[in-house]
Structure 1
Amino acid sequence: MNDTTSVPTRKAASPTPIRNASPFGAPMDWLRSEIDQLFENFGQPGQSIFNFGRQGGSMPVPAVELVEDEKGYKLTAELPGLTEQDIEVSVAGDVLTITGEKKEDSKREEKGVLISERRYGSFHRQVPLPPDVDQEAITAEFKDGVLNVVLGKDQNVAARSRKIEIGKG
């Protein structure tokens, strides 16, 4: 599952107006509103209450938070149930890629019946990097299910930019 969307926050959806009030009152009105939203948002990542993105062995794409300070940026992704061996962080061009895969097998015997369960899932998240990131100053740390990626700023970005004079044609 690939996601190359930008990181900034999305605008909260406005509540769906209830067209025909139910004779059963507020609970049915709420349910109708939720079903209307389901169909209006069908196919949009992260919008479905049923999370259709999990089909086909894929894990949900993790949400990331990108925070800027004077020294650089800090990207945080919550990846519960994964270990640092399950995750790969790479950078190519101006895109940071976070990839993860989890394989889980369990076998147990209950009352003479062998029960074997397998769960597999993977995700692939791409984040466009701000133009002032120093790619040599990127570090990553994983602890307690949280991935922290520190992106240092390149102090020479301002020196590389220049104003271009416009000539008369």
Structure 2
Amino acid sequence: MTDSHKTKTVERSDNFWPHLFDPFKGFGTMVSNFFAPSADASNSKDLYEINIELPGVDEKDIHVDVEDNVLTIQGEKKSESETKEKNYYFTERHYGSFQRSFRLPPDVKTDKIDAHFDKGILKVTIPKKAPAEDKAQKIKIRTSS
């Protein structure tokens, strides 16, 4: 038998199996991103503002909390459509929970945060604390006597 006709043995390698699952590696991230609503954040002189797109979400299913300077927005989307026609019956349901968290800077008034929901957009305004005024002070020097 010539070298070109020799049977190659397939080596079992730990590197083979991970390649089989490569398409599924980011699946958990894709699913969580699917349910994570889009957001934008802005900064002005007096406040920070976060806008989150929540189409199809009912206001009563949205919760906004602040703990340890982390703003968390969570909720659940529930929608159902039903069509009845002469020859068919069709129902679709869409359910999914979501959560977005934002670490807030130290210059915010967490007790003054306001959230307003209108036409599928949640607008969260976060007022800033007034900057501490630096006042010139005379420091008295003490003597040891």
Structure-1-length-normalised TM-score: 0.55
Q: RMSD over aligned Cα, in angstroms?
A: 2.9
Query: Which structure's CA Rg is the greater one?
Result: 2
* Match status 1:67 vs 2:50: no
Q: 1:83 aligns with which of 36, 43, 58?
A: 58
Separation in 2, partners of 1:75, 1:117: 31
Gaps of 5+ in 2: 1-21, 135-145
Q: 1:154 aligns with which of 110, 113, 129?
A: 129
Determine the structure 2 residue equivalent to 1:127: 102
- State the 1:60 CA deviation: 2.7
Query: Structure 2 vs 1, CA of residues 158 and 126 (structure 1 numbering), >3 Å: closer, same or farther?
Result: farther
Gaps of 5+ in 1: 1-38, 47-51, 160-169
Count residues in correspondence: 112
Structure-2-length-normalised TM-score: 0.63
Q: Secondary structure at the match of 2:113?
A: strand
Query: Structure 2 vs 1, CA of residues 45 and 116 (structure 1 numbering), >3 Å: closer, same or farther?
Result: closer
* Match status 1:143 vs 2:126: no
Q: Secondary structure at the match of 2:130?
A: coil
